């Protein structure tokens, strides 16, 4: 029951942030959330901790919880670093690719497609980001995987909030093409596709949005 309630709070707040009903910097008062969901502040706190781990909110000592405020400039810098790292990662992957690695990536992009088709916004965002971490893991380079995981989480909120369903579907198509190039051991094409893909993800983020609300009850209704 408790985990179910916590999950419901996490899902509701995630959806409100994703659908632009709560704006970056909005304060999330524990008591207001507890009253809205009809649960204890303890369960609300558990949900806020989970959202903090996902970097959707930030917890400030003695001040409370706030919707995270992603920086467009930070996202641009993150994508630049990712282009540097993932260009070389793609080269390394092609040079030692195995059928088992290709199958693992094919299974991953199939899961992405299901999330896109089911309009699972948080799920598709996580899977689309994890594709890049999965490549590093399959290479056996845990340091690279950890670096990419951190870089991707730093721009996850901005992607979550500003990537359209069409752009997410396009990202999945690009991942499919990258996997095909890896399977064909076509290094030049795989590298070009990866660089173009990262450029497209950044270019397809749209920042013209309606002004959201700071009213928790209205945002969650």
Q: What is the pTM of this model?
A: 0.72
Answer whether 2-69 and 72-203 agree in fold. no
Closest by alpha carbon to 200, among 181, 174, 165? 174
Domain 72-203 has CATH 1.10.520.10: no
Closest by alpha carbon to 76, among 208, 176, 173, 207? 207
Q: Are strands 27-28 and 64-67 parallel, antiparallel or unpaired?
A: antiparallel
Q: In what order do the strands lie in the sheet with 57-60?
A: 27-28, 64-67, 57-60
- What is the model's pLDDT at position 103? 98
Q: Which helix (H) or strand (E) holds 57?
A: strand 57-60
CA distance readout (Å), 19 to 52, 154, 162, 209, 213: 18, 19, 9, 10, 11
What ranges do the domains of the chain cover? 2-69, 72-203
List helix spans (H) across the chain: 2-18, 30-37, 41-53, 72-96, 99-117, 121-139, 142-154, 156-162, 165-183, 187-203, 216-220
The 10s digit of each residue's pLDDT in 21-75 is 887 889 999 999 999 999 999 999 999 999 998 778 999 999 999 998 877 788 8
- What is the model's pLDDT at position 219? 67
pLDDT < 70 positions in the chain:
1-2, 20, 207-219, 221
The class that CATH gives domain 2-69 is mainly alpha
For residues 124 and 18, is the Cβ–Cβ distance under 8 A? no
- What is the model's pLDDT at position 151? 87
- What is the model's pLDDT at position 221? 64
Please, what is the end-to-end C-alpha distance for the chain in angstroms? Answer: 22
- What is the model's pLDDT at position 211? 46
């Amino acid at each position: 029951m408790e985990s179910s309630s916590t999950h419901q709070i996490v899902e509701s707040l995630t959806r409100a942030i994703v659908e632009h009903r709560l704006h970056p910097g909005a304060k999330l008062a524990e008591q207001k959330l507890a009253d809205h969901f009809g649960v204890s502040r303890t369960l609300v706190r558990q949900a806020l901790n989970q959202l903090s781990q996902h970097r959707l909110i930030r917890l400030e000592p003695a001040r409370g919880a706030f919707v995270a405020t992603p920086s467009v400039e930070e996202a641009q810098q993150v994508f630049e670093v990712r282009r540097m790292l993932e260009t070389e990662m793609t080269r390394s992957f092609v040079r030692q690719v195995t059928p088992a690695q290709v199958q693992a990536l094919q299974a991953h992009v199939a899961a992405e497609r299901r999330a896109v088709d089911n309009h699972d916004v948080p799920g598709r965002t996580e899977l689309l980001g994890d594709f890049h971490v999965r490549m590093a893991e399959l290479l056996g380079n845990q340091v690279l995987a950890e670096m990419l995981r951190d870089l991707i989480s730093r721009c996850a909120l901005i992607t979550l909030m500003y990537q359209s369903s069409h752009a997410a579907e396009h990202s999945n198509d690009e991942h499919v093409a990258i996997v095909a190039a890896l399977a064909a051991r076509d290094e030049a094409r795989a590298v070009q596709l990866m660089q173009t893909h990262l450029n497209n993800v950044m270019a397809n983020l749209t920042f013209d949005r309606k002004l959201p609300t700071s009213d928790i009850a209205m945002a969650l209704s």
